[in-house]
Amino acid sequence: MSWTLAELAKHVDAEIRGDADCIIDGVATLSSASSSKISFLANSKYRKFLSHCQAGAVLVTEADAAAVEGNALVVKDPYVAYAKIASFLFPAKTVVAGVHPTAWLDPRSHVHDSAQIGAHVFIDADVTIAENVEIGPGCVIQQGVTIGAGSRLVANVTLCHGVSIGHRVILHPGVVIGADGFGIANDNGRWINVPQLGSVEIGDDVEIGANTTIDRGAIENTVIGHGVKLDNQIQVGHNCRIGNNTVIAGCVGIAGSTLIGADCAIGGGAGLGGHLSIADGVQLTGMTMVTKSITEAGVYSSGIPAEPTKQWHKNVVRYRQMESLHQRVRELEQLLNNQD
Amino acid sequence: MSWTLAELAKHVDAEIRGDADCIIDGVATLSSASSSKISFLANSKYRKFLSHCQAGAVLVTEADAAAVEGNALVVKDPYVAYAKIASFLFPAKTVVAGVHPTAWLDPRSHVHDSAQIGAHVFIDADVTIAENVEIGPGCVIQQGVTIGAGSRLVANVTLCHGVSIGHRVILHPGVVIGADGFGIANDNGRWINVPQLGSVEIGDDVEIGANTTIDRGAIENTVIGHGVKLDNQIQVGHNCRIGNNTVIAGCVGIAGSTLIGADCAIGGGAGLGGHLSIADGVQLTGMTMVTKSITEAGVYSSGIPAEPTKQWHKNVVRYRQMESLHQRVRELEQLLNNQD
Amino acid sequence: MSWTLAELAKHVDAEIRGDADCIIDGVATLSSASSSKISFLANSKYRKFLSHCQAGAVLVTEADAAAVEGNALVVKDPYVAYAKIASFLFPAKTVVAGVHPTAWLDPRSHVHDSAQIGAHVFIDADVTIAENVEIGPGCVIQQGVTIGAGSRLVANVTLCHGVSIGHRVILHPGVVIGADGFGIANDNGRWINVPQLGSVEIGDDVEIGANTTIDRGAIENTVIGHGVKLDNQIQVGHNCRIGNNTVIAGCVGIAGSTLIGADCAIGGGAGLGGHLSIADGVQLTGMTMVTKSITEAGVYSSGIPAEPTKQWHKNVVRYRQMESLHQRVRELEQLLNNQD
C-alpha cells in the first residue's frame, strides 16, 4: 500500500513544501530513510541528519522547514503528526472473534462473542469481558474481573480477583494487577498479614508496560486514572491513586498510599515514598528521590550524575567533610570579626 | 455477617470506650467509614480525620482515645489489632482440593490429595506438594521442587528445578525462584557461563511479592529465612542469605553473596552491593545505596531528596566544586595563620 | 562420577601442586569443601578460608599457591578454570526432542524435529525454531519469531511478534522481548500512541535474566549484540543497541534510543537516560546515574553510599547550604584581599 504526500498531508493537516505527488509507502528514521519513506524531526539532537536525508518527505516545524533539502510536511508538532501517519499506514491488527481450543472459560464467566481469547488462557467465574477485547496467550483472569470494550492483554498478563479494567486499555506481557499490597503488622516480633480487601480500578485509554505491577488496595481501591501511560517494570503500591493523563517511565517505584496528580510526567527510575501527595503537573527527572509531598506544579530533580570514579571517590570524601568545612568557615569568620 | 463491638474487642483484647453492642459488619478508612464499619488510627498523618469520623468504632492507642468522638477500642497497637479483626471478618478463602482438567502433573510427582492445582499448571517429575497447598493458574513447577503445607502460589509463578519452599508461604504472580544466578567468567574477552549448581531454600511463613526474582546459588543455596516478607519486583542475587523476619520493600536489588541479618527492614528501591554482610536489626531508608558491610544495628540512609530542578542544577555544580572550595578555605586559614 | 586431579588439571591446563591422583567428585566453597571436592579462590575476601580449607584441591593463581595447605591447581584465572571444571563435572542437561501434549503449535510454524517444546507452550504462525532448541513450559512465541539453534527458553518467557533470537541464547523465566516501546505523543493534552514498528534482534550466546524486558524499536530494531549477558529485572528501552560482550547486572534501566558500546560492564541498579551514547569499554559502578553520553572508556560512578541516618540528615542540610557557603568563602576572600 502506498499514498501520495498530498493524502498524508491532509491526514495531519500539514502544509506541503515540495512534490505533493511523491509516493510514500512507509516510515523511516532521518538517517536511514529511502525515497519512498516519510521521516520526522522531533528531537534537535537529530537535526544534523537533515542535510543528507534521503526521505521522500520529512515532517518538521516551520522553524526547521528551510533545512529540509527534499519534500517537507510542515506541522505544529512533528512527533504527533508522525504518530498519526504511522498509525494510518500501519493500523493495529483487528480482533478476531473466537476462543482458542486450549483456553478455559468458567461457565459462570461472561465473555462477549466478539472477543478473542488466546491459547492457554484461564478465565474464572464472574468475569465480564466486553466487546472486541483481546486476551492473549497465557493470561490468567481471576474471579470477578471486568474488562472494558476494545482492551487488549498481549500475553501472560495476570489480573487478580475483582480488578476492573476500562475501555481501550493495553496491558503488555508480564503485567500483574491486583496482587496483595505489602501490608504487614509487627505482632511482638512476628510479622502478620493485613488482609488486602480493596481492589484496583484502571481507567480508559490506559497503557501499562511489560512486567509492571499494581497492587490492590488495603481497604479502598488503588486507582489509575484515564489516559495514564505506564512504561515497563513500574511498581505501584497499594492505595495509590494516579491522576488522568499522567505518564511514568520505566523502573519507577511508588510506595503505598501515595497520590499522584493529573498530567504529571515521572522520569525513569524515580522513587516516591509512601503516603505522599504530588500535585497536578509535576515533572520529575530520572532517578529522582521523593521523600516529601510536592504541592506545586514544576520540575523537580535529585541525584548527582556520573563522573570518573576517581573524582567520585574524592567528592564523596569531601561530601562527608561538609560539616567540618562549615565549622572552619565559621571560625574564619569569627577570627576576622575579632580583628575588626 | 456481623458482630458486636464486644465480640471484636474480645478478639483483640481491647478495652471498649462506648457502646459495646454496636454492630460491625466491615472495615473502612477513617475518612470514609459509615456507622457499621470499624476503622483504625495507626499513622499520625491521619489523626485529622478522627474529628469527623463516622465509623461505628475506631481502634486507637490510649493516647488517642480521647480524640475519638464515637466508640473506641483501645489497644496497644491499633494496626496489629486491625489486622487481626480484618482477618477475622474476612478470612482467606479455603483451598478446594482437586486438579484442574487443563493442569499437567508428571506421574512421578507427589501431589497431596488436599492440594488445589489450577488451570494450565505444569508439575514436573519428583515434585512434592504437601497438604492444603494451592497452585494457581499458569504456574510452572520444575523437577524436584518441594512445597510445604498450606503454601499458596497465586498464579503464573515459576519455580525452577530443586527449589524448596516452606510451610504457609505465599508467592504472588510473576515470582521466579531459582533461575540461574548471574555467574560469568571472562575467558580472554569471551564471557563463559559458570554453572549455577546450588538451589534456593525458602523458609516458613514467607511472603514474596509480584515479579520478585530470587536466583539459585552458584555452589551452595540461596536462603530466605522464616517469616521474611518481600514486596514486589525485588531482585535477590545468587548465594544471598536473608535472616528471619526481615522485611524488604519493593524494587530493592541485592547483589550476589550478600548476607542480610534477621529483623532488618529495607526501604523501597535500596541497592546492596555484592559480598556484603548486614547485621541483624539494620534499617535502610528508601533508595539507600549500600557499598560496604554494616556491622551494627541502626538506621542508615543515603541519597539527596528532590528539589526544584533549577536548584538541583546549582547544587550539582557546587558539589563538583567542593575540592576547590576546600582548597580556598585552606588558603584562607594559612593566610590568617601567617597574619597572627 | 569422579575424576583424578590430573584429569581435571589437563582440562584447564593447570599445574598440579600435590597429589595428582586425588579423586574429585564435585565442587564446593573454600569454607565447606570436603576432601573429594575442588574449590577455588577468585575473590581476595575469601583468602582467609584457605588455611582451614578441607578441599581435595583448590584452584589458585601462582601468587596464592603457597598459602594452600593441601593440593593446588595453579592457573592464570581460577574463576575461569572453576567455570570450566564445573561445566565438565556437571554438564547442562541435553535437549529431549518432542512436543508436550499440552503445547499448541500453529500448523504454519516451523519447529525443528530435534526441538523440545514444553507444556502449555503456544507457538504462533510463521515462527521458526531451529535444531536443539528448548522451549520450556508456559512460553508464548508470537507470530514470525525466529529462534536460533541451541537456544533455551526456561519457562514462562514471552517473545512478541517478529522478534529474532540468535544461537545458543538462554532466556530465563519471565523474560519479555519485543513488547511495544514507550512511544507516546501529546496531542493537545491527550497522549496518543506512536506505533512501534521495529522489532528486537538478539545476537548469539546472549543470556537474559529473569523478568528482564527488552522493548521493540519504534522504527528500526532494538539490537542486543553477540555475547551480551543481562542479569535479572533489567529494562532496555526501544531503539537501544548494546554492543558485543557487554555485561549488565540486575535492576538496570536503560531509556530509549541509548547506544551502549562493546565490552562494557554496568553495575546493578544503574540508570541511563535516553538518546545517549556510551563508548566501548565503559564500566559503571552500581546505582550510577548517567545523564550524558560517555565518550571514553573508563570507570564511572555516582551516588553517595549509606551512612547513619542522623549524619545523613546533617549532610543533606549542609548540601543544600553549599551555595551560601561559597558566598561566605567569597566574602572572606574579599575581606582578606582588602586587608592586604
Q: Contact C305/B315, CB-based, under 8 Å?
A: no
C-alpha cell at B297: 544495628
Q: State the count of interchain CB pairs (< 8 A) between A and B.
A: 219
Per-residue pLDDT of chain A in tens (340 residues, 90 and over written 9) = 899 999 999 999 999 999 999 999 999 999 999 999 999 999 888 999 998 899 999 999 999 999 999 999 999 999 999 999 999 999 998 999 999 999 999 999 999 999 999 999 999 999 999 999 999 999 999 999 999 999 999 999 999 999 999 999 999 999 999 999 999 999 999 999 999 999 999 999 999 999 999 999 999 999 999 999 999 999 999 999 999 999 999 999 999 999 999 999 999 999 999 999 999 999 999 999 999 999 999 999 999 999 999 999 999 999 999 999 999 999 999 988 877 5
Q: State the count of interchain CB pairs (< 8 A) between A and C.
A: 221
Report d(CA A329, CA C336) in Å as an integer.
Answer: 13
Beta bridge partners, B301, equal C307
- The whole-number average pLDDT for the span C307-321 is 96
Q: CB of C305 within 8 A of CB of B300?
A: no
Helices B322-339 and A309-320 meet at what angle, rounded to 10?
Answer: 50
Q: How confident is the model at residue C136 (pLDDT cuts 50, 70, 90)?
A: very high
Residues 6+ apart with CB under 8 A from B233: A211, A213, A233, A235, A253, B209, B210, B211, B212, B250, B251, C211, C233
Report d(CA C94, CA B245) in Å as an integer.
Answer: 40
Per-residue confidence (pLDDT) for residue B340, from 0 to 100: 59
Chain C: residue whose CA lies nearest to A333: C332
Ranges of chain B with pLDDT below 70? 340
Helices C309-320 and B309-320 meet at what angle, rounded to 10?
Answer: 100
Name the nearest CA neighbour of A237 among A173, A164, A184, A166.
Answer: A184
In three-state secondary structure terms, A317 is: helix
Q: CB of C242 within 8 A of CB of C263?
A: no
Known catalytic residues of B are 238
Which residues from A are below 8 Å from B209, CB to CB? 179-180, 182, 213, 215
Domain limits, chain C: 3-89, 98-300, 311-339
Which residues from A are below 8 Å from C271, CB to CB? 251, 268-269, 286-287
User: Phi and psi at residue B299, in whole multiples of 5°?
Assistant: -105, 130
Beta bridge partners, A148, equal none
Which residues from A are below 8 Å from B309, CB to CB? 285, 298-301
C-alpha cell at A185: 503488622
Q: Contact B251/C249, CB-based, under 8 Å?
A: no
Which residues from C are below 8 Å from B138, CB to CB? 120, 138, 156
CA C35 to chain centre: 33
Beta strands B152-153 and A158-159, pairing class? unpaired
Which of A11, A120, A167, A238 is labelled catalytic? Answer: A238
Q: Which residue is it, cell 556510551?
A: C278
CA C320 to chain centre: 37
Name the nearest CA neighbour of A157 among A172, A179, A144.
Answer: A172
Which of B322, B330, B331 to probe by mutation at the A interface, max A CB count within 10 Å?
B322
Multiple choice CATH, C98-300, 3.30.230.10, 2.160.10.10, 3.40.50.720, 3.40.50.1100: 2.160.10.10
Per-residue confidence (pLDDT) for residue B300, from 0 to 100: 98
Name the nearest CA neighbour of B233 among C210, C254, A142.
Answer: C210
Report d(CA A251, CA B287) in Å as an integer.
Answer: 13
Burial class (CB in 10 A: 0-12, 13-18, 19+), A330: exposed
List, as one string, the DSSP characters of B130-143: -TT-EE-TT-EE-T
What are the tens digits of pLDDT across the range C75-110? 999 999 999 999 999 999 899 999 999 999 999 999
B3-89: CATH homologous superfamily? MurE/MurF, N-terminal domain (3.40.1390.10)
Q: CB of B181 within 8 A of CB of B237?
A: yes
Name the nearest CA neighbour of C235 among B255, A179, A212.
Answer: A212
**CB nearest to B138's CB, from A138, A160, A220:** A138
Residue B176 parent element (H or E): strand B176-179
C119 DSSP 8-state letter: T
Which residues from A are below 8 Å from B79, CB to CB? 185, 194
- The whole-number average pLDDT for the span C219-245 is 98
Name the nearest CA neighbour of B271 among B280, B263, B258.
Answer: B258
| Subunits close to C (at least 3 CB pairs below 8 A) | A, B
Chain A: residue whose CA lies nearest to C329: A329
Report d(CA C265, CA C255) in Å as an integer.
Answer: 17
In three-state secondary structure terms, B240 is: coil
Q: Contact C301/A303, CB-based, under 8 Å?
A: no
Name the nearest CA neighbour of B179 among C151, C170, C173.
Answer: C173
Beta strands A140-141 and C26-27, pairing class? unpaired
